[in-house]
Structure 1
Amino acid sequence: MLWIKRVLVLAVALLLAALTLVFILENQSQTRLQFMTLHSPELPVAFLVALAFIAGALVGLGLSVYLQARLKFALGRSRGELARCRKELDDLRAQAASSKGS
């Protein structure tokens, strides 16, 4: 079963590589980007698309790391609060048991 998964992953990777190669070969025309008064040098369309893809991946990764850090901080805060509540509950139970025995 494991070898089937490996073969499928390899097939998908080869298909993706082939599609990427075809995309690059089909989009060799030069183009220039313009934003307000800024102009880029003439670059292949495939390079600009790849650059946009990489930039999007880096932004997504950065947001993911930021959100994961926030969640870990909130989890730590919740665990601390839970520990305090458990200690208070144990103290109250001990106090109730000692007042019941007196």
Structure 2
Amino acid sequence: MKDVDTQVNLEEKTIDLSPPRPVPATTHAPIFIATTTPTTTTLKPLPPPPQQSSSNSKLAARVVALEQKLAAFEQKSKTLDNTTQNLKSKVFNLELRDLPHNIDQ
């Protein structure tokens, strides 16, 4: 009993294994019986898909044309960017060649 703080108290637990006691009939809740009857639901067929009007097809054609123009523009832009980079590189190389001449002066 030196370490009273570290001791654990065990409680005795018992389990009642006796049969359940009958409950008086007056305390029973009323019993409800539910019945179901099968029902059949007939669904109407789906309506046909709407037909494309001429304005929708014209709009779709314009969108396709614009997408093609955008793709061509992006390709041209990449080509111009590459050309600009090449020109910058050439100018830089020319400036490096002139550098010793500028230092001598």
TM-score between both structures, scaled by the size of structure 2:
0.48
More helix by share: 1
Q: Which has the larger radius of gyration?
A: 2
Q: Which structure's relative contact order is higher, taking Cα pairs within 8 Å and 6+ residues apart?
A: 1
